[in-house]
Amino acid sequence: MIDLLQGLGDTLWLSLKKLGQSFVELVPNLVGAIIIVLIGWIIGKVIKKIIVTLIQQTKIDEWVEEQNLTAAIGGQKISNIVGSFLKWYIIAIFLIQAVTAFQLTVLQEFLTVLAYYIPQIIVALLILVIGLLIGRYVRNIVDATTYFHKRTIGIIAEVIIIYVAIVLGLDTIQGVDVTILLDAFRISLLAFTLTIAIIVGITLGFAFKDDAKDLISEIRKKAK
């Protein structure tokens, strides 16, 4: 019994000793990984500030506000959106290096794949932002007209433009098949065109109904 307890004690001690040694070996890598992430965070923030400043000098944020387009992108500024995209991309790159230093192979492979797709995702999101702005701009133009169905047409036009932006954005991401979305867009565009044609036809019909009556009356008189 004593020998059994002594054997268990020795086994436990060896396990704790190995655990302690592993922790001691792990600490430098952990510290190095944390430092790398912090450096990436600082560089990302600096780059974001520079990009935001440069974009603000183009006055694009003011133009978006003047055109009442801010609501289309959630009240955010273009400069802040672009700067945030670049900031997190830089952080992701440094995070991969930190994982490499930490010797986490599985996580490293995942983050490497993620880093490959991040630029494509950023481009897709930028295309979506542009689509949101263009869609709202077109809608505002339609709303400024005196056409009776301007609200409906404006919303439909905005939705179509946003849909196109989504399809174009997804098409920039490798491995994403947008064939179904393109087919759906063609069908939607056809339906939209037919709807506009019907609305215009009905409107013109009501507008010129009196003239049409006079024309028909004259034709009947001449026929007699």
Rounded Cα distance between 173 and 119, Å, is: 9
- Mean pLDDT for 29-38 is 79
- Fill in the DSSP letter of residue 178: -
pLDDT digit string (tens) for 86-138?
888 888 888 777 777 666 665 666 666 776 777 788 888 888 888 888 888 88
Rounded Cα distance between 37 and 120, Å, is: 22
CB distance 105 to 140 below 8 Å:
no
Task: With cut-offs at 50, 70 and 90, classify the pLDDT of residue 212.
Answer: very low
CB distance 44 to 90 below 8 Å:
yes
Contacts 24+ apart (CB under 8 A), 45-50: 45/87, 47/83, 47/86, 47/87, 47/90, 48/83, 48/84, 48/86, 48/87, 49/83
The pLDDT of residue 201 is 62
CA dihedral of 124, 126, 131, 134, whole degrees rounded to 10: -160
Mean pLDDT of the chain: 74
The pLDDT of residue 46 is 93
Name the residue type at position 192. F
Rounded Cα distance between 108 and 97, Å, is: 8
The pLDDT of residue 1 is 53
| DSSP assignments along 63-132, one per residue | HHHHTT-GGGGTT--HHHHHHHHHHHHHHHHHHHHHHHHHT-HHHHHHHHHHHHHHHHHHHHHHHHHHHH
The pLDDT of residue 49 is 93
Look at 207 and 198; give whichever has higher pLDDT.
198
The pLDDT of residue 187 is 73
Per-residue pLDDT for 7 more than 70?
A: no
